[in-house]
Amino acid sequence: MHGKIETYIHEKLKDGKLHFTLLDPDSADEDTIRSVVDASVAAGTDGFLVGGSTDAFGSRLDATVAEIKLHTSLPVILFPGCSAAVSPHADAILFMSILNSRNPYFITKSQALAAFTVKKAGIEPIPMAYLVVEPGMTVGFIGEADALPRQKPAIAAAYALAGQLMGMRLVYLEAGSGANAPVPARMIGAVRQSIDVPLIVGGGIRTPAQAQEAVAAGADIVITGTIAEQDTQKLEEIIKAIKG
């Protein structure tokens, strides 16, 4: 049975593709958060992810989530980089496993360490298979991932389907923040053909053409980050390309 935020995602997907804005607490002060939220809402984003690979937990995370919620009623979803990245102020958390990590900590141990905290916080957990694609960037390094080869889409499809069969209700293909190229369309297409759950794609998407290519290949939700702070006009163009 889906919770409120997961239901929101599925209901919105009936009308078209979605865009979520990613905010990293490690690099966001109050003014930045306010401007990013205002710009993203005006451009038509469907919600906010909050998280990062390094200093994105504790009071900094709480303050970021609380500040976002001051300026929007859209969902605020935790995108945790570690077991400590839990805030009771959020609406939901992507309860995720890096399936292609070499380290069991990122597959199941971190999740076990966070499980009681998530339950006590009373936020909605959404189980998700998180797959790191070449080049992987910081998340690939921190998460000790065997980054999925860009020229081998069948490997990504196999991992994605395994995640679904294990009960995960979202799949996320991640090229890494700041990647010089997004997840290849062939890989997105291969994964889309293999799974029945919503497919999220992020990392390296900087232009409307890249965003449109991702959704045409089969992405249901596209994630962008710093573009909301750097270029409001381009953000609007990207979201327009996603929503067609």
Q: What integer pLDDT is reported at residue 6 of this predicted model?
A: 97
Mean confidence (pLDDT) of the chain: 93
CATH number for the domain that contains residue 200: 3.20.20.390
**In angstroms, rounded to a whole number, what is the distance separating the alpha carbons of residues 2 and 47?**
17
CA 242 to chain centre: 15
**Per-residue model confidence as pLDDT tens digits over 174-224:** 998 888 999 999 999 999 999 999 999 999 999 999 999 999 999 999 999
Q: How many domains does the chain have?
A: 1
Least confident of 3-12, 50-59, 104-113: 50-59
Share of the chain above pLDDT 70, in %: 98
Least confident of 46-60, 95-109, 200-214: 46-60
* Predicted confidence (pLDDT) at residue 26 exceeds the cutoff of 90: no
Q: What integer pLDDT is reported at residue 51 of this predicted model?
A: 87
pLDDT band at 52 (very low <50, low <70, confident <90, very high): confident
Domain assignment of residue 171, given as a range: 4-243
Residue 173 · residue 156 · CB < 8 Å: yes
| 17-42 average pLDDT score | 89
How is residue 107 written in tokens? Answer: 């597959």
* Predicted confidence (pLDDT) at residue 53 exceeds the cutoff of 80: no
**3-state class of 108 per DSSP?**
helix
Tokens 């090229």 found at? 175
**In angstroms, rounded to a whole number, what is the distance separating the alpha carbons of residues 45 and 221?**
11
| 5-9 average pLDDT score | 97
* Predicted confidence (pLDDT) at residue 11 exceeds the cutoff of 90: yes
Q: What integer pLDDT is reported at residue 227 of this predicted model?
A: 79
In sign, the C-alpha dihedral spanning 121, 101, 199, 34 is positive
Least confident of 116-125, 144-153, 175-184, 224-233: 224-233
In sign, the C-alpha dihedral spanning 26, 219, 123, 120 is negative
Residue 136 · residue 181 · CB < 8 Å: no
How is residue 182 written in tokens? Answer: 């997004």
* Predicted confidence (pLDDT) at residue 56 exceeds the cutoff of 90: no
Residue 132 · residue 139 · CB < 8 Å: yes
Burial status of residue 13 (CB atoms within 10 A of its CB: 0-12, 13-18, 19 or more): middle
